Amino acid sequence: SQQGEEDPQALSIQEGENATMNCSYKTSINNLQWYRQNSGRGLVHLILIRSNEREKHSGRLRVTLDTSKKSSSLLITASRAADTASYFCATDARRSGGSNYKLTFGKGTLLTVNP
């Protein structure tokens, strides 16, 4: 399976600290995406990093991708209570034997930022 696996499953930090979440996957990918989900709501796309990119920034977010290790990390700097949510990585890859692409999600990391 090319499913992403996030680590840790849960993370609790204080406001102002940095939060780092990791994602590992098993097969070659086209791109890797990170999403955020507030409790009971839909997912919101945060950032997409292509397989030929190594690092990407968006505001307080920094994503790295190491295709040799099949892993990615999401860093949220100077966290705020409003960053409390679940964070998912999703790998986009060509389906085996087919021409379609499939985006596969991991189970997510639950981040709690305490005021």
Partner 1 sequence: ETGVTQTPRHLVMGMTNKKSLKCEQHLGHNAMYWYKQSAKKPLELMFVYNFKEQTENNSVPSRFSPECPNSSHLFLHLHTLQPEDSALYLCASSQFSGSSTGELFFGEGSRLTVL
Asked whether the beta carbons of 3 and 104 are under 8 A apart, the reply is yes
* 13 binds partner 1 per the rule CB under 8 A: no
* 109 binds partner 1 per the rule CB under 8 A: no
Q: Taking the CB of residue 27, how many other CB atoms lie within 10 A of it? A: 13
Task: Specify the stretch interacting with partner 1 by CB under 8 A; choose among 18-26, 33-41, 52-60, 61-69.
Answer: 33-41
* 35 binds partner 1 per the rule CB under 8 A: yes
Tokens describing residue 4? 């992403």
Among 2, 3, 64, 112, binds partner 1 (CB under 8 A): 3
* 80 binds partner 1 per the rule CB under 8 A: no
Residue 84: which of 5, 6, 13, 9 has the closest Cα?
Answer: 13
* 107 binds partner 1 per the rule CB under 8 A: yes
Distance CA 111, CA 13 (A): 8
* 44 binds partner 1 per the rule CB under 8 A: yes
Residues 6+ apart with CB under 8 A from 98: none
* 101 binds partner 1 per the rule CB under 8 A: yes
* 88 binds partner 1 per the rule CB under 8 A: yes
Q: Reduced to 3 states, what is the DSSP secondary structure of residue 83?
A: helix
Q: List residues binding partner 1 (CB under 8 A).
A: 3, 30-31, 33, 35, 40-45, 48, 88, 90, 92, 100-108
